[in-house]
A and B are shown apart, each in its own frame.
Chain A
Amino acid sequence: MPMTPVARPRFLNLLQIRFPVPAVISIMHRASGAALLLSIPLMLWLLDRSLESESGFHEVLSLLGSPGGRVLLFLLLWALSHHLLAGIRYLLIDVEVGVEKSAARRSAWLVAFGAPLLALLLTGALT
């Protein structure tokens, strides 16, 4: 016999819903993953070009050192840092480390601010 669906309240106004930090970094984990996925061809091209020849190597270096290149590098390093830090957080939660609400919120804040900071430091150090 089919069950009659229970009428549950719905509130889907994304502009008014207040997300807790762990929810925000979870969405960003997905978004950064999608961004990294889409950047795979670019990464392979950079790898290919840089290994191919002396001139290709310098082309890649000057590309990454240009203002636009540095912005793109920062954004990709941010995506990578966020995906990596949030990923480590999820692996720890999988083995039941930091599951408690206060600990989970603290680590979420750490990821949210640690990732762009790490990306900024890496961009500065690498270019």
Chain B
Amino acid sequence: MTRRAQGLNGWLLQRLSAAWLGLYAIFFLALLLVSPPPDHAAWRGWMAEPPMAVATLVTLLLLLVHAWIGGRDIIQDYLHPLAARGVALSLLGLALLACGAWALLIVVGVAT
């Protein structure tokens, strides 16, 4: 896992994911401000729309990629003993994978 998204690839991936995440964040906040869902049915219906569900799924996936690169950089900057670093990176990776599975269940559960 530590071989992935390193060096220039990681640098580029962090910026590309940032661009998408930034656009989604602005869009999502604007939507909440302009027409907040009045009730549960409206909120669910909103998230069940295929374009919204797909965009949200892509966002959650890219969020985890973005969080992995950023979290890994922080761990590598401050945690130097190799064993501790390995454990921390593994825990971060596992936690993010678990979050990814959870996010998949949430969005797919609403859209189907």
Residues of chain A having any CB pair with chain B under 8 Å: 30, 33-34, 36-37, 40-41, 44, 47-48, 50-51, 53-54, 56-58, 80, 84, 87-88, 91, 94, 122, 125-126
Write the nearest CB–CB distance from A127 to chain B, whole angstroms. Answer: 10
Determine if A50 and B19 form an interchain contact, defined as CB atoms under 8 angstroms apart.
no
23 A-B pairs (CB sep. < 8 Å): A30-B74, A34-B71, A34-B74, A36-B67, A37-B70, A40-B63, A40-B67, A40-B96, A41-B99, A44-B103, A47-B106, A48-B102, A48-B106, A50-B43, A51-B43, A51-B47, A57-B39, A57-B43, A84-B26, A91-B15, A94-B15, A122-B29, A126-B33
A residues less than 8 Å from B25 (CB atoms): 80, 84
Residues of B within 8 A of A34 (CB): 70-71, 74
Q: Mark B69-99, 1 if CB is under 8 A from A, else 0.
A: 0110010000000000000000000001001
Given contacts A51-B109, A84-B25, 15 further A-B pairs with CB under 8 A are: A33-B70, A34-B71, A34-B74, A36-B67, A37-B71, A50-B40, A51-B43, A51-B47, A54-B40, A56-B40, A57-B40, A84-B22, A84-B26, A122-B29, A125-B33
Closest approach, in angstroms, between the C-beta of A73 and any C-beta of chain B?
A: 12
Q: Kindly name the residue among A36, A40, A94, A122 whose own CB sees the greatest number of chain B CB atoms within 10 A.
A: A40
Main secondary structure of the interface of A (DSSP, over half): helix
Task: Decide yes or no whether B55 CB sits under 8 A from chain A.
Answer: no
Q: In the complex, which residues of chain A have a beta carbon less than 8 angstroms from the beta carbon of B71?
A: 34, 37
Q: Which residue of B lies closest to A50 (CB)?
A: B43
In the complex formed, the residue of A with least CB distance to B110 is A51
The reply to whether the CB of B18 lies closer than 8 angstroms to some CB of chain A is yes
Which residue on chain B has the smallest CB distance to residue A45? B102
Bound form: Cα–Cα A40–B99 in Å = 8
Cβ of B40 and Cβ of A53 under 8 Å apart? Answer: yes
User: Hey, which chain A residues are within 8 Å of B63, CB to CB?
Assistant: 40
Q: Which residues 1-56 of B sit at the A interface, judged by CB distance below 8 A? A: 15, 18-19, 22, 25-26, 29, 32-33, 36, 39-40, 43-44, 47
Residues of chain A contacted by B109 (CB below 8 angstroms):
51
Residues in B with CB closer than 8 Å to A30 are 70, 74
